[in-house]
Amino acid sequence: MNTIIKIPNKFSFNDHGTYNFDRVLNIFNWTLEKQTVLIDFSSCFRANYQALSLLTLYIWHLRLNNCFIEFQYSYNMEGATKMWQLMGAKGWHHVLKNNNTNFNGNEYKPLIAVRHQKDFAIALSKTESYTQDFNVEYEKTLRYVISELLYNTLEHGPRIVCQDRRHTKIPSIIQFTWYKNKRQLQFIVADLGMGIKSHLEQAYPPFESHGEAILESLKYQVSGTFGRVDPYKSKDNAGVGLYISSNIIRRLNADMHVVSGDGLVHISPTDTTITPLQEIWPGTLVLVSLNLDLGEGLNLHSLMSEIRSSASKELKEADQADEKETFIISVLNFFGPYAENKQEAISFRDSRLLPSIEEGKSILIDFQGVASAPHSFLSALLATPIKRLGMQSYKRIKVVNSEPEIRETIDYILDDNTSA
């Protein structure tokens, strides 16, 4: 069987001045295996380097899914075909097979595979050569942000594929482009690792969505490796990388988009917004766009101490909010995979659920591993708490990891008990 992946005429995140990630992510089919896949560049004439660089990760993924990859280039070698060549992306196979080989592209279009400390150093030295004409403080600040993103992708983003008893690590990538006319620098750091949500869930209760998890990862001292870090035993500054980086981005008047799973969070000077995507990226990608005219008067040291001091203020507020905390109910633990016993639901509701609500706690109900929970069970458990909370139920009661039927039933019960 053969599949053609056709790169559209315009392959870019930028859609008339706004960002559109779905348009790029939509061409990737992650389920293909054991077949020939033709990547067709022939009609793509307007592409963006960051979007194209994601194709290298996709092709690695296909290759390790036992696909054979063929390419169709444009007849005059223009457009995406030329860009692919300039980035040295044609060397994708050597880079995957040889841990010490990297892309051999044009120095102005650096695409770098990131697998270990040596690649990390290559990536940073490329940044340096790129930014040598900039103001020194600007260069240091940028280097800080890029290092944090590279550390994250190395530490939290590797994906190991086992094929014919051989383990291959899919590298992460970084790609920069300097848009001279606009005096703009854009770069992407991307990986096919487990994604932010799964990584954070190693240390935190499950999140309602990928977007919520990304938002959490941006907070001070939130780390999937250590959980909420005890400030007195701070472990190597854990959990501050994304907090500081995203705040630097804000102060620099830049834009940062973080995509993981079907979550997209946009960080800009004025706001931080979550937008769910139609498509997914099965890992993490961070796209940063900076305007280089704004580096005047910048001082990395004072910027960092300013950000840290506002962090400790935020942390105090968070601690106060935490006192009320969340009551996490694992339905599997309390009621088993078939949560059907109405009597058990009623006694749990009266002895545990209602008292927690009285104490002002939020309720997080985790349906992981639960195959069924019929209406009468859910209604016995939730109708009274929902009536007591009224419209606040929508904020205070969260449901995660549920089968669609369970989710629908709960939505129905919520509706039924909050409408007048």
Ligand X SMILES: Nc1ncnc2c1ncn2[C@@H]1O[C@H](COP(=O)(O)OP(=O)(O)O)[C@@H](O)[C@H]1O
By the criterion CB under 5 A, which residues form the site for Mg ion?
Answer: 151-152, 241
- Report the half-sphere exposure of 373 (CA within 13 A, side-chain side): 33
- Residue (109 or 199) nearer to ligand X, CB: 199
199 binds, among Mg ion, ligand X, none (CB under 5 to 8 A by kind): ligand X
Nearest approach, Cβ of residue 222 and ligand X (Å) = 6
CB of 217 to ligand X, least distance (A): 3
What is the nearest approach in angstroms of Mg ion to the Cβ of residue 119? 17
Report the residue closest to Mg ion, judged by CB.
Answer: 241
**Which entry of Mg ion, ligand X, none binds 177, CB below 5 to 8 A by partner kind?**
none
Q: How far is the CB of 157 from ligand X (least distance, A)?
A: 4
Q: How far is CA 385 from the centre of its chain?
A: 34
- Note the Cα 391 to chain centre separation in Å: 31
Q: Which residues contact 269 (CB under 8 A, 6 or more apart)?
A: 250, 251, 253, 254
Residue 44 contact partner, candidates Mg ion, ligand X, none, CB within 5 to 8 A by sort of partner: none
Question: Pick from Mg ion, ligand X, none: which does 417 bind, CB < 5 to 8 A by kind?
Answer: none
Using the minimum distance from each CB to ligand X, give the nearer residue, 157 or 171: 157
Q: Which residues contact 1 (CB under 8 A, 6 or more apart)?
A: 35, 36
Q: Which does 363 bind (CB under 5 to 8 A by kind): ligand X, Mg ion, none?
A: none
Q: Nearer Cβ to ligand X, position 40 or 148?
A: 148
Smallest gap, in angstroms, from Cβ of residue 262 to ligand X?
Answer: 15
Residues found near ligand X in the complex (CB under 6 A): 148, 152-153, 155-157, 191, 193-196, 199-200, 217, 222-225, 238-243, 284
Residue closer to ligand X, measured from CB, 79 or 261: 261
Are the C-beta atoms of residues 222 and 200 closer than 8 Å to each other?
yes
Question: Which is nearer to ligand X, 47 or 218 (by Cβ)?
Answer: 218
Which residues, including other chains, have CB under 8 Å from residue 89's CB and lie 6 or more apart?
52, 53, 55, 56, 103, 105, 111
Q: Which residues contact 158 (CB under 8 A, 6 or more apart)?
A: 169, 170, 172, 191, 193
In terms of CB distance, is 177 or 246 closer to Mg ion? 246
400 and 367 Cβ atoms separated by less than 8 Å: yes
Among ligand X, Mg ion, none, residue 200 binds (CB under 5-8 Å by kind): ligand X
Give the CB-side neighbour count of residue 413, counting CA atoms within 13 A. 24
Classify 66 in phi/psi space as left (phi over 0), alpha (psi -120 to 50) or beta: left
**Is the CB of 193 or the CB of 295 nearer to ligand X?**
193
Q: Which does 170 bind (CB under 5 to 8 A by kind): Mg ion, ligand X, none?
A: none
Quickly count: other Cβ atoms within 10 Å of residue 133's Cβ: 8
